[in-house]
Amino acid sequence: MRVTAIYPGTFDPMTVGHIDVVNRASRMFDDVIVAVAASRSKHPFFSLEERVDMATRITDELDNVTARPFDGLLVEFADRVESKVIVRGLRAISDFEYEVQIAGVNRHLSPSIETIFIAAAQDYTFLSSSIVREIAQLDGDVSDFVHPLVVEAFAARRAGRSLT
C-alpha cells in the first residue's frame, strides 16, 4: 500500500525551512503533495499560480513530490487525493500548541487522518515566510533563506515583470 502525505501551507514564499521538511518527508513517504493553499484571507504576495509553479520547480528533483493548489478544507483535499497523512513542520513550542489544535480539528473532521510533525532543523527555527517577505519588500538580501528561484521571483516583482 502506497502512502501519500500532504504537506500543506501557503508557501508565500517557500523557504529553505519548507524545502528541508519536504526533503525529509519525501524520504518517509511514497508520495508527498505540497498542497499550496489559496489563503485569500492572508492576501498572499505571490499568486496561487506563482506559488504552485515555484514549489513545483523547487521540488523538481524529488521524483515523489508534486505541488498542487487547494482551496477550502484541508481534510476535503486529503480525501480527494486519497491521503491519510498530513505533514507539518514545527519551529518552536508556540508552533506546537497551534498545530496540535489544528491536528485535533482535522482528526475530528476526518478521523482517519493522522498528522505527523517534523521538527525544523536547528538552522531554520527562526525562519518564516512573513519575515522573508518583509526583508524582500525592503530590498534586503533573502538569498540565505530561500531557493534562488524565489530570489529571482522577488527581483522580477520589484522590476514590475511577470513571473511566468
The pairing of strands 85-90 and 4-9 is: parallel
- Residues recognised as catalytic: 18, 42, 91, 129
Report how far residue 147's alpha carbon sits from residue 131's, in angstroms, rounded to the nearest whole number: 15
- Please answer whether residues 62 and 93 qualify as being in contact, where contact means their C-beta atoms are separated by less than 8 angstroms: no
The 10 Å CB-count burial string (b at 16+, else e) for 119-150 is ebeeebeebebeebbeebeeeeebeebbbebb
